[in-house]
């Protein structure tokens, strides 16, 4: 415990600390790719794809250039295109809805459940029309979306489910990896994600061999073999350096996830009951805490953020504007009352520092600072 009045400098994330902890392994992996000149696709990509599919407990993994492309390619693979509607959640990173528009489809937003800040499964069915083709639940902040009712609705209405697991590597829902519960599940390996590369990278995983090979072909210029192209695709491939780095980091992911969960537990114990809302988990899930997002009611978020800053603690807001209210979606003409929970949450949420390398002392210090604000 630090002396009273001592200020610790606590960054929001610290990618350098993680690199330092595994430097010899990473440096060797990078050197191996360069000496083999296996820069795009190739053996390092194949090795990572196999390991990640196994980690997700599904049959196939296709490495792509980033998580946004993974979503877009998944939708295209499932036949989603112009004239179709895809349902997703009002609270996410813009990439989720962007990918729907990249596929040529219309985005249809659903409000959030205020407990989990994920899609409100009670509000999905009213948004289904004859044009609806797919639902994209987002496992935001590493909290699994409520997949059982989502899969039941998809079954009932003949819809596809594409999971956005960009923030949820390793999350479990009722004992199962979330990737087992959707037709295709998409991951981002952006550096700051729970499993992060040293540049842009992404993947989609599925149990369906046909979808996996169709996605692989589309992501590689629609080619079947060199210079034989069955269709026009895109150039969205995983590169060898990123794959080799990801293979090293995948071996540490479970330990890092447990450290995130320990940090979440320390935050919960230190903050609960002080007037600041803590993240709600569904029953029987393993949340992986990409972010630790608290809720600060009564317009006191900025004050708490300032207090934390004055005490050396960096924070973030994910996200300050819910998707339907972004300028990019102004043409949809949504009003505050269309998504009241998402609208309210965007004014109250605050993300505290969260990464595996945070020490217990640092987490306690942040929690004590939050509690000392005594927001009521």
Ligand X SMILES: *Cc1c(COP(=O)(O)O)cnc(C)c1O
Q: Contact residues for ligand X (CB under 6 A)?
A: 66-68, 92-93, 95-96, 138, 164, 166-167, 188, 190, 200, 202
- The pair of structure tokens assigned to 198 is 């040293």
Distance CA 146, CA 352 (A): 24
Q: Could you tell me the smallest distance in angstroms from the CB atom of residue 141 to ligand X?
A: 9
Q: Could you tell me the smallest distance in angstroms from the CB atom of residue 205 to ligand X?
A: 15
Q: Could you tell me the smallest distance in angstroms from the CB atom of residue 118 to ligand X?
A: 11
Q: Could you tell me the smallest distance in angstroms from the CB atom of residue 320 to ligand X?
A: 15
- Residue whose CB is less far from ligand X, 67 or 270: 67
Q: Could you tell me the smallest distance in angstroms from the CB atom of residue 297 to ligand X?
A: 25
- Residue whose CB is less far from ligand X, 68 or 315: 68
Strands 292-295 and 349-352: antiparallel
- Residue whose CB is less far from ligand X, 188 or 351: 188
- Residue whose CB is less far from ligand X, 218 or 365: 218
- Number of residue whose CB is nearest ligand X: 67
Q: Could you tell me the smallest distance in angstroms from the CB atom of residue 357 to ligand X?
A: 20
Distance CA 63, CA 48 (A): 8
Q: Could you tell me the smallest distance in angstroms from the CB atom of residue 339 to ligand X?
A: 17
Distance CA 162, CA 76 (A): 11
- Residue whose CB is less far from ligand X, 40 or 152: 40
Q: Could you tell me the smallest distance in angstroms from the CB atom of residue 153 to ligand X?
A: 21
Closest CA to 174 of 194, 154, 153, 150: 150
- Residue whose CB is less far from ligand X, 119 or 308: 119
Q: Is 311 in contact with 2 (CB distance < 8 Å)?
A: no
- Residue whose CB is less far from ligand X, 161 or 166: 166
- Residue whose CB is less far from ligand X, 321 or 371: 321
Closest CA to 201 of 68, 55, 100: 68
Distance CA 373, CA 376 (A): 9
């Amino acid at each position: 415990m630090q002396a009273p009045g001592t200020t610790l400098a606590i960054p929001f994330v610290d990618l350098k600390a993680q690199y330092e902890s595994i430097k010899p392994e990473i440096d060797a992996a990078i050197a191996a790719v360069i000496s083999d000149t296996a820069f795009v696709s190739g053996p390092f990509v194949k090795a990572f794809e196999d390991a990640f599919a196994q980690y997700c407990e599904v049959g196939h993994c296709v490495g792509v250039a980033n998580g946004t492309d993974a979503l877009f390619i998944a939708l295209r693979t499932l036949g989603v295109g112009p004239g179709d509607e895809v349902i997703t959640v009002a609270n996410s990173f813009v990439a989720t809805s962007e990918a729907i528009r990249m596929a040529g489809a219309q985005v249809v937003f659903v409000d959030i459940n205020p407990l989990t800040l994920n899609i409100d499964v009670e509000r999905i069915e009213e948004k289904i029309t004859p044009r609806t083709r797919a639902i994209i639940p987002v496992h935001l902040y590493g909290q699994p979306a409520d997949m059982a009712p989502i899969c039941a609705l998809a079954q009932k209405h003949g819809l596809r489910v594409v999971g956005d697991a960009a923030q949820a590597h390793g999350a479990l829902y009722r004992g199962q990896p979330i990737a087992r519960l959707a037709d295709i599940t998409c991951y981002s390996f952006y550096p700051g994600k729970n499993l992060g590369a040293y540049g842009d990278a992404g993947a989609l995983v599925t149990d369906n061999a046909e979808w996996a090979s169709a996605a692989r072909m589309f992501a590689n210029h629609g080619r079947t073999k060199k210079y034989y192209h069955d269709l026009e695709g895109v150039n969205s491939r995983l590169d060898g350096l990123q794959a080799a780095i990801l293979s090293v980091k995948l071996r540490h992911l479970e330990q890092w996830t447990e450290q995130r969960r320990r940090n979440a537990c320390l935050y919960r114990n230190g903050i609960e009951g002080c007037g600041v809302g803590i993240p709600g988990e569904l029953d029987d899930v393993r949340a992986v805490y990409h972010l630790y997002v608290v809720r600060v009611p009564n317009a006191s978020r900025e004050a708490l953020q300032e207090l934390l800053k004055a005490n050396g603690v960096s924070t973030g807001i994910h996200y300050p504007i819910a998707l339907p209210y972004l300028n990019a979606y102004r043409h949809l003409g949504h009003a505050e009352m269309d998504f009241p929970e998402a609208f309210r949450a965007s004014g109250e949420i605050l993300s505290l520092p969260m990464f595996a390398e945070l020490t217990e002392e640092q987490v306690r210090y942040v929690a004590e600072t939050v509690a000392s604000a005594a927001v009521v």
